[in-house]
Copies of this chain bind each other. A is one copy, B any other.
Amino acid sequence: MTDVDTVARAAAAAFEATRTATDAERAAWLAAIADRLDAAADELVDLADAETALGETRLRGEVARTTGQLRLFGQVVVEGSYLEATIDHAAPDATPPRPDLRRMLRPLGPVAVFAASNFPFAFSVAGGDTASALAVGCPVVVKTHPGHPRTSRRTAELVTEALAAAGAPAGAFAIVEGFEEGLELVDHPAITAVAFTGSLRGGRALHDRAAARPAPIPFFGELGSINPVVVTAEADATRGADLAAGLAGSFQLGAGQFCTKPGVVFVPEGSALEAALPALVGDGTPRLLTPAITEGFGTGVERVREVPGVDLVAGGAPGAPVVAATDAATLAAHEHELLAEVFGPFTLLVRYSSRSELRAALDRLEGTLTATLHAAPGEPVDDVLPRLEAISGRVLFAGWPTGVAVTWSQHHGGPWPATTSQHTSVGATAVRRFLRPIVFQDAPDEVLPAALREANPRGIPRRVDGVAQPA
């Protein structure tokens, strides 16, 4: 396997070229990667299905999502707002006199990306972290996930070929494999930021390691999430059976192996949702992504089921999907056991007897990627909505959290332990993670980057003397 030091040094050596490439050039690199992955979709899907058992339909969709994401980040950098170009002209008569100041964002340097188990394409070798870092001019070293090694290697070959053909510098992209190699990568002086998608335990260890370096670096981790869903009594009364179908689809999708899987669902006592749900829960035993995930699923389900006051609502054969249920008092007494994420096809219903009991139960939740509210049209939600906003990064109304659209406005993050950062790992603003500001003071126009020259030759949106100006 490739030596980490060699790869990290090559990334550092490539930085000057990736940094000074134009946004249009980098967008072309990403498009070249996307084209090559699309052309190899059949082969990639076969490889990934053999390694992950996620199925052809899902995997084909994921390849398309991945290549769409690469192209979106190309559009984002060409559009140019991401540079946050800001110009304040000199004010020589001010007290004190003000110089000419021109600010923009610049790439940090080589980025380490830790691939996830559950998205062999979209959060892996050529996934959103890689795309957003490369888009803004940061070389990338991916630590692959051991759950899909052949898919990772083949994807890396395609990325490397595409980048070379598109004129990107050697060293702008590489992969490494292995647990120790991942640690070495986080420690390497050439690495300037880490992006990670994975478990709370693994993410916490790497977070602490990045913070403890002689020169600490930012760690952008997406770790774990319980994704609470609240169903009001009115919503349950009017469309409980529909909600059951939606929940059944969402928590079993991809065998429950999504960071946005609804893990706890607050329902009124005696809900129509609960009554309808058992018939919608599969009794097969889906193959999970890795032996460790299979084991963790079993352990997690057992931990919940052992709590006194927890019922089995549906499923429960070893390895099969499971729905358990409890009441708000039991949740309050056993929050540690009941509110830890169980990765896999499991969800917990929490029955509440009143809106105030619901509100109190919500106070026990920690940070989460998403929070979903199912209420009736026009129903007042002032008592629960602020709490859902306080703990999450995405608040959904009348939907299910397992789809994460890749758009300009998407946010995939939330308070600890959902993520370790104030930035997203999905959507256009994911690029902000790998940028830092720089301001030029009284610089001659000809030495400025194009984004900051007086004539705006890049034609990008800027803020000039305090006023936002379109392109």
Interface residues of A (CB under 8 A from B): 16, 61, 64, 75, 79, 81, 84, 86-88, 95-96, 98-99, 101-103, 106, 108, 207-208, 211-212, 215-218, 366-367, 377, 381, 385-386, 389, 392-399, 403, 405, 407-411, 413, 415-417, 420-424, 427, 429, 432, 435-444, 447, 461, 463, 465-466, 468-471
Contacts and interface: CB of A to CB of B under 8 A. Distances in A.
Contacts of A208: 211-212
Contacts of A102: 409
A215 B468 contact: no
A215 B471 CA distance: 41
Contacts of A98: 405, 407
A381 B440 CA distance: 14
Contacts of A385: 447
Contacts of A439: 393-395, 409-411
Contact of A101 (B381, B410, B432, B444): B410
B442 A397 contact: yes
A215 to B, nearest CB: 4
Contacts of A216: 207, 211, 416, 420
A51 B447 CA distance: 44
A13 B422 CA distance: 22
16 contacts: A84-B429, A88-B408, A88-B410, A96-B405, A98-B405, A103-B429, A207-B211, A216-B416, A216-B420, A218-B421, A377-B444, A397-B444, A399-B442, A408-B465, A409-B463, A413-B436
A366 to B, nearest CB: 8
A67 B34 CA distance: 52
A220 to B, nearest CB: 11
Nearest to A377: B444
Nearest to A213: B416
A60 to B, nearest CB: 11
Given A409-B88, A411-B103, A466-B79, A429 B438 contact: no
Contacts of A211: 207-208, 211-212, 216
A62 to B, nearest CB: 11
A245 to B, nearest CB: 17
| Interface core residue of A61, A88, A367, A399 (most chain B CB under 10 Å) | A88
Contact of A81 (B407, B427, B463): B463
| Interface core residue of A87, A88, A108, A436 (most chain B CB under 10 Å) | A436
A393 B416 CA distance: 29
